[in-house]
Each structure stands twice: as structure tokens, then as C-alpha cells.
Structure 1
Amino acid sequence: MNIDGGVVVGVDTSAASLRALKAAAEEAECRGAPLHVVRAWSIRTAPRPADCPPNAVPSIDAFQQEVERETAKLVAAKLGENPKVKIEIHAVHSPSPQALLAASRGADLLVVGHRGRGGFAGLMLGSVAEQCVRHASCPVLVVRPSL
């Protein structure tokens, strides 16, 4: 993954990451910068390729392509078919914190979601957001749920 400037956002299928995607797109538009959508995945979290027979194990390349397709669909559903910013999708076979921290090395801003659990627990960051805040090479925006 080669990122040279712009806004990076980590996405999965959670509501928190979709809020982060929207906020990141707004930031990218304000800055006139590209939006880099990073989807970290593992065999356990990747969608199964639809064209793979039931008793077969898909290849890593097949999983990679399916993650890229699903992520593109997710982005289009949230930002529309003609977003106001240039979007690059990066599907990375890696744990989320490592993928996002690597992307932060070339980014102007890293945006991550926070699930929020209410009360005292809601004051604490999740493990991915916390690692990004502590170790990212650029500023980090943590998008919290609306009240």
C-alpha cells in the first residue's frame, strides 16, 4: 500500500466505520485531497467469493478480490456513485491496527470510528482506535457515535 498524502479511513462493515467513512470523505473534500479507504481483512473476516464452489477453499487472491468488491460496494452505498473526492480502496490482508498504522505513514490524516458503549465504557477508546491514537504517524480523528 503506497499512500502519498490525503485522508485515510479504516472501514469494515460496522456502523462506527461507516460514520468514520462519511467524516473522512468530508475532510478529504475540505482539503481537496484523495480519500484512501483501508479495509484490513483475514480469512475469518473476509466475505466468501460467490463463485467459489461450496466444498472448495478460495485462494488468497480470490478473497482479496472479493474484499475489494465488497468494500467498493460499501463505499458507493455510503458516499454515492459519484463522490466529490477521488477514492482509492486498499484491501490489506493484515490485522487492522498494523494496516492503519502503515497507511498513516504517508497520510495527512487518519480517521477511525469508535463504537461507543455508553457510560464509563463509552469514555474509553477501542483497541484499534487507541493504537492509532498512540502510534500513528499523522493526526488521528476518532469519530464517536452521535448523542
Structure 2
Amino acid sequence: MNNENTFNSTNPLPEPASSNSIVVGHDGSKGASHAFTMAMELAAELSAPVVVVRSWSILTAPKPAEWEYGYVSSFDEYTTAVREEMILTLKGTVEKFDKVQVAYEPVHAPPAKSLIAISHDARMLVVGTRGHGGFTGMLLGSVSEQCVRHAACPVLVVRPTPATSW
């Protein structure tokens, strides 16, 4: 993976994950955590590495450690803050699967585009579903639906269980 995690003219797409890897999207939701657990279980069975992708924007990213009122943080500082939050959030599950290699990939870009690009060469893409449904789902389109339609690799959409219902 490269260190530049934004889509721009010099880096139009993030580097795809390795062909043996399982890519999983994680936005911090219960559904994403359930999908991450499923990805880790599959990775343990297949001896595959996992690449966790979180798309972020200035509005959704945690404030960087250096942030203070009046200070404008750099994209690198936001990327570091997102990565640190991912590591902290997923720590418990990662520890349960200590033999699985995990890489964290925060990307400053739309979620579906990021997941589709990074999973291009992967063994599988795993995503959760929030089930927007109805009119909102038709207007916005869901990330999981876009991934199913456009990903080059197989996509596993992990639906909520009663314990993870949202």
C-alpha cells in the first residue's frame, strides 16, 4: 500500500490489495464491526491477510492529536488520526485472531470507490449493510450495493444478526 491515501491527479486510485487478501470496509458502525469479525474468521481459516479500509472526509474523521482551535490540520495528520482510531476500535477483535495479519488503510475518498479500487485484485471484499432501504436508499444508493455491482472480486455482504441489529 502507498502512503498517499487521497484521490487526486497524481494518485487517482489507491493501490490494490494483494491477491490473497480479504478487504473489509469499516466505518465504525455495529454492522461494519460484524463484517470485520466475519472477515477475520474467514482470513483465519484461509491463512489470508486482511486489509481494513475506512473512507473518511474532514467531517467524518476524528480530530488529529495536534488539532487545536484555529489550527488547520494536514491531510496526513487526519489520516494518522483515522488510522489510530481504526486500530483502537478493532483491537479486541484483532487480538482474538492473533495469527491474522491486518493492515489499516484510511482513504480520503468516497467509500464505494475506495473499496472497489482497493479490492480489485483481492480474494474477497467483505462489507456490512445498514439497510437504508426505501426512498433514501434509492436516492443515495448503498455502498454494499455499489460494491456488489462494480467490484472485480467476489463480495460478501454481511447482514445484521439479532445481536448486531441496527
User: TM (normalized to structure 2)?
Assistant: 0.79
Give the partner amino acid of 1:67: V
1:104 is matched with which residue? 119
Alignment of 1:12-23 (within 5 A): 12-23=27-38
Paired residue secondary structure (1:80): helix
Distance 2:122 2:89 in 1: 22
Distance 2:81 2:120 in 1: 26
Give the partner amino acid of 2:59: R
1:67 aligns with 2:82: yes
| Percentage of identical aligned residues | 42
1:3 is matched with which residue? 17
Q: Which runs of 5+ in 1 are unaligned?
A: none
Displaced runs of 4 or more, over 4 A: none
Alignment of 1:1-80 (within 5 A): 1-5=15-19, 6-80=21-95
Encode CA deviations 1:1-60: one digit per residue, 9 max, x unaligned: 341121000001111100010000011111110011011111111101133122212111
Distance 1:127 1:81 in 2: 30
How many residue pairs align between the two structures?
143
Paired residue secondary structure (1:16): helix
Encode CA deviations 1:66-85: one digit per residue, 9 max, x unaligned: 01111111121333276230
Paired residue secondary structure (1:53): coil
1:143 is matched with which residue? 158
1:86 is matched with which residue? 101
Q: Which runs of 5+ in 2 are unaligned?
A: 1-14
